[in-house]
Amino acid sequence: MTALGRWSSQYLNYSFGNPSLLEQALSHRSVGDANNERLEFLGDGFLNLAIAQRLYELCPQYSEGELSRLRASLVNGASLKAIAVSIQLDQHIIISKAERSSGGARRASIIANAVEAIIGAVLLDGGYEAARQVVNHLYLDRLNNLPSPDDLKDAKTRLQEWLQARGVDLPEYTVEHVAGADHAQTFTVSCSAEGQATRAEGRSRRTAEQRAARLLLDILRHDE
């Protein structure tokens, strides 16, 4: 068995009937036309379906919105990167020398995309059930330790819901200052409600608003 075959058996719990599919799934576009971009497209679609199905089975008490937040937290780039690191995927990325010298084999987007491409490759190699089992294997710990959907709400949503539950006015957000060149602006935003106000900065207005909302919610909860 090849080194890639041993890696697949150990970390994916799957052996490829067609090893060339695994090699293609690990091939970055910098190496030529036989790269993993189309497999990534296929794997991305299947991953969303497989995780949605598993969450539907595991969480009968959750609404559509709660299930959607959970799925988003599982299939985003950060989660895929963490999975890639846990299975030592960066050691097997097939990438050009130039891209590797610039750190491409460890770049979050590249290794996250490769995880999706591998799932697509398994789907083609072994079919739906084989791909579903690989997804469940890769996500086993995360599916067994799901966060509360409420913990996944952004700070502005949580602040709004906290205020609405108490029948008080919704928060007001004010952009107080914008600094820097157009391509590197810093926004200063204030958030006020219930006689309290906070101020935060961010590289976008949305980021600053979220930070200010989080600070205000912490204050209001502390004072409750």
Taking Cα atoms as reference points, which of 147, 150, 115, 148 lies closest to residue 134?
115
| pTM listed for this prediction | 0.73
| CB proximity list for 180: less than 8 A, separation 6 or greater | 186
Q: What angle is formed at CA 140 by the lines to CA 138 and CA 141, rounded to 5 degrees? A: 110
Active-site amino acid positions:
44, 116
Dihedral sign (CA 97, 43, 23, 114): positive
> What are the residue ranges of CATH 1.10.1520.10 in the chain?
3-146
Q: Which CATH architecture has domain 155-223?
A: 2-Layer Sandwich (3.30)
Q: Could you report the per-residue pLDDT of 151-161, keeping only the tens digit for each?
A: 778 889 889 98
> What are the residue ranges of CATH 3.30.160.20 in the chain?
155-223
Taking Cα atoms as reference points, which of 100, 94, 82, 105 lies closest to residue 36?
94
Please report the pLDDT score of residue 43 as a whole number. 97
Please report the pLDDT score of residue 53 as a whole number. 96
Please give the CATH topology (third level) of the domain spanning 3-146.
Ribonuclease iii, N-terminal Endonuclease Domain; Chain A (1.10.1520)
Please report the pLDDT score of residue 106 as a whole number. 65
Beta strands in 107-171 (DSSP E): none
What percent helix, strand, coil does the chain show, rounded to 5?
65, 10, 25
Please report the pLDDT score of residue 121 as a whole number. 97
Taking Cα atoms as reference points, which of 116, 115, 120 lies closest to residue 130?
120
Strands 172-179 and 196-202, how do they pair? Answer: unpaired
Mean pLDDT in each 10-residue stretch from start to end of the chain (224 residues)? 88 95 92 90 97 96 91 92 92 80 72 95 97 96 88 85 89 94 91 93 92 92 77
